Structure 1
Amino acid sequence: MLVLKFGGSSVATAENMSKVVALAEAAARQRPTVVVVSALGGVTDDLIAAGHRAAAADASYRELLLELEQRHLGAVRGLLPITGQSSVLSLVKTHCNELESLCDGVFALGELSARTLDRLVSYGELLSSRLLAAALAARGTAHQWLDSRQLIRTDARHGHAAVDFTSTNPLIQTAVTGEVPLYVAPGFVASAPNGSTTTLGRGGSDYTAAIFAGALGAERLEIWTDVSGMMTADPRLVRAARPIPRISYQEAMELSHFGAKVLYPPTIQPVMRSGIPLWIKNTFAPEDAGTLVEVSPPANQAFVRGISSIGPIALLRLEGSGMVGVPGFSRRLFAALAREQVNVILITQSSSEHSICVAVSTPDADRAQQAANQEFAHEIRAGLLDPLDREDELAIVALVGEQMKNHPGISGRLFGALGQNGVNIRAIAQGSSEKNISTVIRQQDVRKAINVLHETFFEATTRQVNVVVAGVGNVGRKLLQQLQRQQPWLREKLRLNLRVVGLANSRHFVLEEEGMDLASWETALAAGPPLSLDQLTEEVLALNLRNTVFVDVTASAEVAQVYAKLLARSVAVVACNKVAASSEYQHYAQLKSLAQEFNTQFLFETNVGAGLPIIGTLGDLLRSGDEVQRMQAVLSGTLNFVFNTYDGTRPFAEVVRQAQQEGYTEPDPRLDLTGVDVARKILILAREAGYALEMHEVQNESFLPAACLQGDVPAFYEQLAAHEAHFRSLYDGAAAQDKKLRFVASFAAGQARVGLESVAPGHDLYSLQGKDNAVLFYTNRYVEQPLVIKGAGAGAEVTASGVFADVLRAAQG
């Protein structure tokens, strides 16, 4: 014997019902089969709505009933040949007339009792099962329609009746003898001892099928729906979710309790008691394997079977010193909630007995809070307890797996993954069986949390990283080119799915949750809304994507102001922009502290030396216990290029203009030539070395005449040309001693300075070529011979590569 249940989506249309007919006939050819059907998709909700409208004296219930009638009549016409329609159309019309009479009575009384509502909603399954039986009859398929109300006996608790299996099982066994190959029965409906119609509550049609399967000792129960089995996560939230091939009853119950809507916990009980396998299949893809729910699936399956969620919920917390060591508080709390018919979803209690916390469904929260405060009113007035604390807009995300108990570190991985993505856990519960680890988080973090956990436990080979880039000038363009070129390599070698989900320039921004096509980013950005940094930041945070990295490739102080808000939401920040790290020390320290507090990254390697690993090396020295005594450095690729190129044969102004044209300077070259940029860099290095230095404390000895600093950039070039003799004298003075001009930054004994120096042959800074940078670290370990880092310190390509490297560091945690 087989029992097949088809859900509302499977019978929603005549076309879908034809698929059900074919599947039922195919099963019946193998062995006797019982088919249980739900109402057509959405019909039960419409019937409930019609009843409530009638009770509220809203005459529009008639329009809703007419729509339901036309829908069922249309299904008849689409499902049956014309010659077989008449009697079925008449049957549908009769049922619909009964529905109208029922609602007219509710309208007249202005009251909708639970008993009347049960009778009202029962018509959905009665109609759908009659339609299916008629379709089988039209095809000449031998079958028998069964009225579940005559076979399933319950108590009189209307809306969620409890089944009397002692009476029910013999009735089913007598009715289903196997004399015909196929039986059709409505799900969801039953009857009370007095003969009134009852319903089996949420998931009632599944429950009906399980009752039949248990009573008949079926070979298996098949639940046919619109998905290919139970999934590792909700596919609406996780694109990479995949079907679970096999799962235990206990795991299925845990997943279904926490929101996996393919099954409902009561469904499993009758078949679980009898050890009957349950197979979840897809009506629209019957060739898919689906999910087999069984007593003992193979032990070599994944130790985490699935991730599920339920929400919205409210968290209710009872606290107070008066609870400590006093028995009975928990009993009183749960009794108060039970009296109000409030279901407790999750419970956790501190070991100090100072507080107890329960999660309830949000619609129940008001009644739960009122009941608890009334129950403990005396203790609250006496100051022994605080008034019940309530937190809303929460959800539960649960890891489920029977084998988790045999694998240490699961909880650690869960908490670590959520923490790295800024998902704060409000409460935790883990059963003693260790089949379920439940966390209470903000409702708005559910999508991110489930994706993070799915990636951690089911996609360990691939990590998705979502990048937002602000600034698409020379460096930004090169960065996007590098990202596009390296995407396949990153997926293959590092298992990183690195996607650019946002771009911004000074005029527009664009965000695309599924990732941008880097071959056409300019078109997408130009079509984006006008740039508002506040709006950009809020939308990035609202997307709430896992492993988000914000990349600032601007020189904007306004962009740097959004770092704190991003870091406080665990969004990593990679800054090519030097403004933040060279701002007031308090602000710099705050950003570093936020990154640490919210378990994310604030990286700015390219602030000093473009793509050279200077800041990273300094950090490695300090973390390994070394101490910096002094530093000496050439930190401006622009100035080094200028003084390597200028030899008096061409005007100094012309050499500076060449540096700007080749992309070695800031848009305003004075930022480079005045030494301000170098001062920022040595300030950043000093801070990274552990010194609380401010910008005004860096001594800057400018080599530019004061007149060069007046006016705009064209005026600057005019003044450079006018003071050519000054620059020529600087060059000649150094050349006469066989020395070279270098703009040197130095730090020692807590003091920093920048200025032009003449460097003798043999010095590490003497041989620098072109736009090279170099840093000399003198430390406790490198005393006589410094640790030297040298290489190209300017240029869009190398700077972009340094930003790229920081993005990868942020991505890998």
Structure 2
Amino acid sequence: MQIFKFGGASVKDAEGVKNLAKVLQTVGYKNTLIVVSAMGKTTNALEIVIKNYFENKAELKSALQDVIKYHNNILLDVFDNETHPIFKKVSNLFREIDDFLRTNKSPDYNFVYDQIIGYGELASTTIISAYLEKIGIKNNWTDAREHIKTDNYYRRANVNWEATQQNIASTFNKNRINITQGFLGSDANNFTTTLGREGSDYTAAIYAYCLNAESVTIWKDVPGVLNADPRYFENAQLLHQISYTEAIELTFYGASVIHPKTLQPLQRKEIPLYVKSFLNPENPGTRVGKGITLKPKIPCFIVKKNQVLISLSSLDFSFIVEHNISDIFGLLHLYKMKVDVIQNSAISFSVCIDNIYDNLEKLLQHLKAKFSVTCHENVSLYTIRHYNTTVLKALEEDKTVLLKQLTQETVQIVTIPI
């Protein structure tokens, strides 16, 4: 089988839905599983719904109506009239959100988040499946939650590989085109879970691993994996090929073109990954595989915005040693902080983190009981793979460097604008 993953940008409007079909017709779709994200910025819009549910009930109905209207506009552009059954199917999906919000008793934000957020993927795959049927591409819509089983770590769930493999092996029909949702799973109680933001790539890799697929292709609005994000860096260049190891390094440091967890299951079975443009599907894009060198061998730039740099020192000028560091990491784990950089000396310890779960104030209060604490919010973390002194000097211009860490192949700097 081959696995195709289409992100939200590829299906943000009616033309995107139609173009997805053109891509299939251009490159072929025999024995293919299509994994699709929510349309456009639907995930962001549903996050506003969830936020209003907890903080601003007066705006809740309006926020949900915006999501419904967005999808209805796409439906009206794709299908001939409102009597098509797809209109009722999509309406029923969004009615389920309303029903959940009216009856929910859980105060757990992360649980509520996962029960709501996945309706973007459920709606997009339902619409795309119906459109493919309309133009004569027979397909099987399947619910990823019935296949991918996880723990109940809501918003960043961990896959139960044994149960997932068993579910896919026992129910999946390999002999036709299938379409399913990225990002979603379910726990032992069949509550919806999610695999982390941008987790649809990971979904594609999970299915590829369990189905022993011959390849995975991620369809993007860029020509492939670039050496830098063109939103932040000028003159970004296409990387024609990279190894699994290099790709894992890039994603670990925050390269957004591939989800960080995607590569491990593919590498274990040596399944090649292609990143291609849905605008030019016949172009070769980037190949990620085993034992291939970075081509071309050029510096690769990664930036993560809105990070937090915390610097700690001991209150009595004693050394920060193993038990202190253990305590610090225990707190980072307790408050679900994603660690991107660490640096320590005899009496100080610095860590750059991603405050995904908005627990920063709780963490700081806990740390201040034991350490002298300095906190810089909204810092930028830059990583350069295969750096040289020229590119490093250019990057540091017009910035105040708060932290710098170099290894033979990689440099990381934490900065604020001057």
Same-fold status (TM-score > 0.5): yes
Q: For the residues of structure 2 that align with 1:280 and 1:85, how far apart are their CA atoms?
A: 38
Question: 2:363 and 2:283 mapped to 1: Cα distance?
Answer: 44
Matching residue of 1:436? 410
Aligned to 2:192: 197
8 Å Cα contact 2:27-2:281 kept in structure 1: no
> Helix, strand or coil for the counterpart of 1:130?
helix
Aligned to 2:385: 400
CA offsets 1:740-762 (integer angstroms, 9 cap, x no match): xxxxxxxxxxxxxxxxxxxxxxx
Q: Superposition pairs for residues 27-38 of structure 1, below 5 Å?
A: 27-29=27-29, 31-38=30-37
Q: CA deviation at 1:217?
A: 1.5
Alpha-carbon distance between aligned partners in 1 of 2:2 and 2:340, rounded to the nearest angstrom: 34
Distance across 2 between alignment mates of 1:150 and 1:345:
33
After TM superposition, list the pairs within 5 Å mapping 1:287-326 onto structure 2.
287-298=282-293, 301-320=295-314, 322-324=317-319, 326=321
Q: What's the counterpart of residue 68 of structure 1?
A: 67
Structure 2 equivalent of residue 600 of structure 1: none
Q: Deviations over 1:579-608 (max 9, x none)?
A: xxxxxxxxxxxxxxxxxxxxxxxxxxxxxx
Partner residue, 1:211: 206
Question: Separation in 2 of the partners of 1:426 and 1:151?
Answer: 45
| C-alpha distance after superposition, 1:442-463 (max 9, x if no partner) | 2x27xxxxxxxxxxxxxxxxxx
1:12 maps to which residue?
Answer: 12
> For the residues of structure 2 that align with 1:92 and 1:326, how far apart are their CA atoms?
56
Deviation at 1:113, TM superposition (A): 4.2
* Higher RCO (C-alpha under 8 Å, 6+ residues apart): 2
Q: Is the 8 A contact 1:57 1:110 kept in 2?
A: no
Q: Which of 98, 120, 127 in structure 1 is aligned with 2:123?
A: 127
- Aligned mates of 2:94, 2:214 — CA distance in 1: 37
Runs of 5+ consecutive residues of structure 1 not aligned to the other structure:
381-386, 402-409, 446-813
Task: Name the structure with the higher helix share.
Answer: 1
Residues 361-510 of structure 1: pairs in structure 2 closer than 5 A: 361=354, 365-374=360-369, 376=370, 387-401=372-386, 410=387, 412-413=389-390, 415-418=392-395, 421=397, 423-430=399-406, 434-442=408-416, 444=417
**What displacement does 1:326 show?**
5.0
**Residues in 1 aligned to 2:145 and 2:151: alpha-carbon distance in whole angstroms:** 12
1:137 and 2:133 aligned: yes
Is 1:179 paired with 2:164? no
Larger radius of gyration: 1
Q: Distance in 2 between matches of 1:49 and 1:103?
A: 14
Q: 1:173 is matched by which residue type in structure 2?
A: A
Q: CA 1:113–1:324 in structure 2 vs 1: closer, same or farther (change >3 Å)?
A: closer
Distance in 1 (CA, whole Å) between partners of 2:311 and 2:229 is 29
Give the conservation status (yes or no) of the 8 Å contact 1:21–1:136.
yes
Distance 1:313 1:159 in 2: 19
Q: How far did 1:418 drift? A: 4.9
Matched, 1:222 2:198: no
Task: Measure the CA separation in 1 of the matches of 2:93 and 2:113.
Answer: 15
1:264 to 244, 249, 259: 259
TM-score (norm 1): 0.48
CA-to-partner distance for each residue in 1:499-532, whole Å, 9 max, x for gaps? xxxxxxxxxxxxxxxxxxxxxxxxxxxxxxxxxx
**In the superposition, relative to structure 1, how do residues 44 and 354 fare at CA in structure 2: closer, same or farther (>3 Å)?**
same
Query: Partners of 1:307 and 1:314 in 2: how far apart?
Result: 20
**Aligned in 2, Cα 1:231/1:125: closer, same or farther, shift over 3 Å?**
same
- CA distance 1:56–1:424, change in 2 (3 Å): closer
Structure-2 residue corresponding to 1:153 = 149
- Mapped partners of 1:57, 1:326: distance in 2: 46
CA 1:2–1:305: 2 relative to 1, 3 Å? farther
1:597-616 alignment to 2 at 5 Å?
none
CA RMSD between the two structures: 2.5
How many residues are paired up? 415
- Cα 1:425–1:65 shift into 2, 3 Å: closer
CA contact (8 A) 1:316 1:359 kept: yes
Separation in 1, partners of 2:339, 2:190: 33
Q: Is the 8 A contact 2:239 2:296 kept in 1?
A: no
Secondary structure of 1:275's aligned partner: coil
Query: Partners of 1:270 and 1:437 in 2: how far apart?
Result: 27
In the alignment, what sits opposite 1:87? 85
Q: How far off its partner does 1:4 sit?
A: 0.4
Q: Which has the higher mean CA deviation after the structures are superposed, 290-299 or 307-316?
A: 290-299
2:351 corresponds to which residue? 358
Counterpart residue type for residue 98 of structure 1: E
Q: What letter corresponds to residue 316 of structure 1 in structure 2?
A: I
Task: Map Cα deviations across residues 128-167 of structure 1 (whole Å, 9 max, x no partner).
Answer: 1111110111122222111111111111222221110111
Post-superposition offset of 1:369? 2.6
User: Normalising to structure 2: TM-score of the pair?
Assistant: 0.91
Give SS of 1:44's match.
Answer: helix
Offset of residue 211 of structure 1: 0.6
The CA distance in 2 between the partners of 1:69 and 1:193, in whole Å, is 30
Matched, 1:275 2:232: no
Post-superposition offset of 1:435: 4.3
Is residue 251–residue 400 contact of structure 1 (8 Å, CA) maintained in 2? no
Q: What is the percentage of aligned positions where both structures have the same residue?
A: 27
Structure 1: distance between partners of 2:255 and 2:293 = 22
Distance in 2 between the 1:279 and 1:316 partners? Answer: 38
In structure 2, the residue matched to 1:169 is 165
Question: For 1:115 and 1:265, how far apart are their aligned partners in 2?
Answer: 23
